[in-house]
Amino acid sequence: MSNIVAIVGRPNVGKSTLFNRLVQRRDAIVDSVSGVTRDRHYGKSDWNGKQFSLIDTGGWAIGSDDVFEEEIRKQVEIAIDEADSIIFVVNVEEGITPMDTEVANLLRKVKKPIFLAVNKVDNAMRDADAVEFYNLGLGEYYTISSINGSGTGELLDALAEKL
Ligand code: GDP
Ligand code: MG
């Protein structure tokens, strides 16, 4: 596989909703990475003529509410290893949480394209609320709504450009 794009972030920010919106074809559901077997959802997609494989991290089997911080950290580290690009999803409704900061700290050291997606920006009124995510120190961000699709085109434009 080439052009692997991993979607990372803490539970309930909307990773799976984004994955489902972007994916056109699903691959194997269970994969074994570094000896750790876990549910990892793979899908295929393309944009502007660039094909890529998407990975939805975060363990559907675990249930999204009681994932341990350690588990999230592990998933992010695996994603950093195997992905060519990373979409880091955060939630504008909740703002920056300590776990977001931790993930950002891991990602800031990575020499791969990182796309910060501020999700749940369902309407223009929430655009202003997204500004605080500059404080994660990852630079520019993309405001998106995985539910209604707004902003996802701009995110994919930027992503495809780096593939
Ligand atoms: P995950 O745990 O990061 O995979 O998050 P999910 O994709 O399971 O979404 C968690 C919750 O957020 C679900 O109730 C989704 O319907 C909701 N959600 C996801 N994206 C959006 C969005 O763009 N806007 C709003 N309002 N809700 C969203
Ligand atoms: Mg999920």
Domain limits, the chain: 4-161
Distance spanning both ends of the chain, measured CA to CA: 13
Q: Give the model's confidence band at 59: pLDDT under 50 very low, under 70 low, under 90 confident, else very high.
A: low
- Ligand 1 pocket test, pick from 7, 8, 12 with the greatest ligand atom count within 8 Å of Cβ, gives 12
Across the chain, mean pLDDT equals 85
Q: Give the model's confidence band at 36: pLDDT under 50 very low, under 70 low, under 90 confident, else very high.
A: very low
* Rounded distance from Cα 81 to ligand 1 centre (Å): 26
Tell me the pLDDT tens digit for each residue of 83-93.
Answer: 999 999 999 99
Q: Is the pLDDT of residue 160 over 90?
A: yes
Phi and psi for 17 in degrees, rounded to 5? -65, -40
pLDDT, average across residues 38-45: 73
pLDDT, average across residues 95-121: 95
DSSP classification of residue 66: S
Q: Give dist(CA 110, CA 132) in Å, integer.
A: 22
* Rounded distance from Cα 158 to ligand 2 centre (Å): 23
ipTM of the complex: 0.99
Which residues belong to the annotated binding site for GTP? 9-16, 56-60, 119-122
pLDDT of residue 70: 77
Which CATH entry fits the domain spanning 4-161: 3.40.50.300, 3.30.200.20, 3.40.50.2000, 3.40.50.2300?
3.40.50.300
Q: Is the pLDDT of residue 133 over 90?
A: yes
Instruction: List, in sequence order, the alpha helices (H) in the chain.
Output: 15-22, 69-82, 98-108, 152-161
Quote the pTM value.
Answer: 0.89
Q: Give dist(CA 79, CA 81) in Å, integer.
A: 5
* Spatial CB neighbours of 122, under 8 Å, sequence gap ≥ 6: 145, 147, 148, 150
Residue 115 neighbours by CB distance under 10 Å? 21
**Inter-residue contact 159 to 5 (CB < 8 Å):** yes
Q: Is the pLDDT of residue 112 over 90?
A: yes
Q: How many CA atoms within 13 Å lie on the side-chain side of 33? A: 20
Rg (C-alpha) for the chain, rounded Å, is 14
pLDDT of residue 66: 54
Closest C-alpha to ligand 1, atom 24: 120
pLDDT of residue 61: 41
pLDDT, average across residues 28-42: 49
> Torsion angle of alpha carbons 86, 110, 133, 116, nearest 10°?
-20
Q: Give dist(CA 70, CA 73) in Å, integer.
A: 5
* Rounded distance from Cα 11 to ligand 1 centre (Å): 9
